[in-house]
Chains A and B, each alone.
Chain A
Amino acid sequence: GEDVEQSLFLSVREGDSSVINCTYTDSSSTYLYWYKQEPGAGLQLLTYIFSNMDMKQDQRLTVLLNKKDKHLSLRIADTQTGDSAIYFCAEIPTGGFKTIFGAGTRLFVKA
């Protein structure tokens, strides 16, 4: 079946690293994404990873993919108060058109 699970909340201090975790159940997923949503706004694509990769780094963001365990993580280095938002993990199963989203992890950054 198709399901994406994330923890609901994460609280970190400004300057620390944040790690947001996600598990997915569809082993055929080829594309995995992280989106960010700020209050009252639509979703913004942060980064993506293809299933033939196990790591991707983009400035302060590092994505790790463990296909064996179907586990995806997003690490934000030097977390800032502006990073406070909801972060969604998402997948597109192979052969499908639609993106399946998790319920989102709300990140609180304390100054």
Chain B
Amino acid sequence: DTGVSQDPRHKITKRGQNVTFRCDPISEHNRLYWYRQTLGQGPEFLTYFQNEAQLEKSRLLSDRFSAERPKGSFSTLEIQRTEQGDSAMYLCASGPPRDREGYTFGSGTRLTVV
């Protein structure tokens, strides 16, 4: 297993366009998280999946954001009608079922909205 993979690594888009990011977690991990990180800040929680169920969603996530994990494996995060304030690093992380000893992060997708 090569860890948590995120695709693409970088995305530049024009304001108003839709973008979709993909995360492939470690295969035996049933917990999956999306975080957003802006320059000089720590990651901010966006949403959490346990298997295919989305169990928690941050108030930071406006209606323009949607996340899915259809078969409990990979996940996608879509941002509709992007705004300049959406520019950030989007991080995915996964963790095993009963282990609260932290989780494994991917390298992130850096989004720039111009």
Chain A interface residues toward B at CB < 8 A: 4, 30-31, 33, 35, 40-45, 48, 88, 90, 92, 97-104
| CB < 8 Å neighbour of B40 from A40, A48, A103 | A103
Q: Is B70 an interface residue (CB 8 A)?
A: no
B45:A99 contact, CB within 8 angstroms: yes
Find out whether the CB atom of A42 lies under 8 angstroms from the CB atom of B41: no
Against A, the Cβ 8 Å flags (1 = close, 0 = not) of B30-60 are 0101000000111111001010000110100
CB of B45 within 8 A of CB of A98, answer: yes
Q: Which residues of A contact B105 (CB under 8 A)?
A: 35, 42-44
Roughly how many angstroms separate A41 CA and B50 CA in the complex, as a whole number?
25
Pairwise interchain contact A42-B103, C-beta atoms closer than 8 A: no
Q: Is the CB of A33 within 8 A of B102?
A: yes
Give the distance in Å from the alpha carbon of A92 to the alpha carbon of B100 in the complex.
Answer: 9
Nearest-Cβ distance from residue A65 to partner chain B, whole angstroms: 15
**How many residues belonging to B are interface residues under a CB distance threshold of 8 Å?**
25
Query: Which of A4, A41, A43, A88 has its CB near the most chain B CB atoms (within 10 A)?
Result: A43
A42 touches B91 (CB 8 A): yes
A33-B100 Cα distance, complex, nearest whole Å:
10
In the complex, what's the smallest C-beta–C-beta distance from B52 to chain A, in angstroms? 15
Instruction: Give chain B's interface residues, CB within 8 Å of chain A.
Output: 4, 31, 33, 40-45, 48, 50, 55-56, 58, 91, 93, 100-108
Main SS at interface, chain A: strand
Selected from A43, A44, A88, A100, the residue in CB contact (under 8 A) with B45 is A100
Q: B43–A101 contact, CB under 8 A?
A: yes
Interface CB pairs A-B, < 8 A, 29:
A30-B100, A31-B101, A35-B105, A41-B107, A41-B108, A42-B93, A42-B105, A42-B107, A43-B91, A43-B105, A45-B102, A45-B103, A88-B43, A90-B42, A92-B100, A97-B31, A97-B50, A97-B55, A97-B56, A98-B45, A98-B48, A99-B33, A99-B45, A100-B45, A101-B43, A102-B42, A103-B40, A103-B42, A104-B41
**Across the two chains, which residue of chain A brings its CB closest to B92?**
A42
